[in-house]
Amino acid sequence: MSTATRAKELQSQVRRMVKERRALMLAHNYQRDEIQEIADIGGDSLALAQKAAQTDAEVILFCGVHFMAESAAILSPQKTVLLPMLEAGCPMADMITAEKLREKKAELGPDVPIVTYVNSSAEVKAESDICCTSANAVAVVNSLEADRVFMTPDMNLAKYVQRHTAKKIEWWKGFCPTHHLLRAETIIDLKSKYPEARVVAHPECTPDILDLADHVCSTSGMYAYAKTENARRFIIATESGILYRLRKENPDKEFIIATEEMICPNMKVTTLEDVYDALVDMKEVITVPENIRVKAKQALDRMLAIPRD
């Protein structure tokens, strides 16, 4: 049996099991193509968790990394949340712990609000005043009354926000290792080779990359930008998994990944076999202790209460 035939067979088996388990299959934008292809819903982490909470599915199969499944469990405590590969973590989320954040809060004092990127553990969210996404981080910070704000765990997102607010931003020195692989000279070379191309970068990239970008936005923002922008060629500065949907939705446009090195090993560790096994064995179940879940949800709810532009 060829690899392609085996993949198609597994995809059919997964969809059969999704129906049998009364499940909802979610796939993050950075997952393998063959997983995104058969998911009920694709998107970024928080949007997926929100959509799952709005359905009557009994089981949420979250093809992503650990903090994403935690977010689904925070918003849908009555549902069974499965993460196909328990080892699928996030190095950036692991760069801060609840204990370390409590120490930092004691140092900063009560007048400095803690804004935590959703790419974080439930325990860290629970120690935070409010959460943010890469799409709404500026709006979240500007909604706060304080003139001084501490952001965690992504220093690059914090530096991006600093460009768009009069508030003083301080940050935890965390970062996404995958986005840190991209170098400015790589973008400069690509712009020279494709002068008509638009460079689109994620805020998790370093500031020197953002300086070279034509547009900076979240993954969901990239989908919208690609559809509405008149350019025919785009240089994409984020994890390569995003190419699947960009190319599917815009078959007449060309998308070039900024570097082939931008592959998140944690996002790509989950395979179709893992997804199938998770449904068969109902594993790995992700739960959040109630005392942590309630506090983490408060931080998420405060963010969600901020009016959108």
List, for residues 96-128, the tens digit of each pLDDT value: 999 999 999 999 999 999 999 999 999 999 999
Residues 43-80: tens digit of each pLDDT: 998 888 899 889 999 999 999 999 999 999 999 999 99
- Residue 303 to residues 111, 135, 139, 264, 286: CA-CA distances in angstroms? 18, 12, 9, 27, 23
Q: Do domains 3-89+267-288 and 179-263 have the same CATH topology?
A: yes
Using pLDDT thresholds of 50, 70 and 90, give the confidence band for residue 3.
Answer: confident
Over residues 214-234, mean pLDDT: 96
Cβ atoms 186, 179 nearer than 8 A: no
Share of the chain above pLDDT 70, in %: 99
d(CA 251, CA 173): 39
- Of 34, 43, 38, 40, the closest CA to residue 64 belongs to 43
CATH code of the domain occupying 93-175 = 3.40.50.10800
Q: Cα 59 vs. chain centroid, distance in angstroms?
A: 21
pTM of the model: 0.95
Using pLDDT thresholds of 50, 70 and 90, give the confidence band for residue 295.
Answer: very high
Look at residue 188 in the predicted model and tell me its pLDDT. Answer: 98
* Architecture (CATH level 2) of domain 3-89+267-288: 3-Layer(aba) Sandwich (3.40)
Please name the fold of domain 179-263.
Answer: Rossmann fold (3.40.50)
Mean pLDDT of the chain: 96
Annotated domain spans of the chain = 3-89+267-288, 93-175, 179-263
Look at residue 31 in the predicted model and tell me its pLDDT. Answer: 97
Cβ atoms 203, 188 nearer than 8 A: no
How would you label 198-212 residue by residue, b for 16+ Cβ within 10 Å and e otherwise? bbbbbbbbbeebbeb
The bridge status of strand 59-63 relative to strand 130-132 is unpaired
Over residues 14-29, mean pLDDT: 96
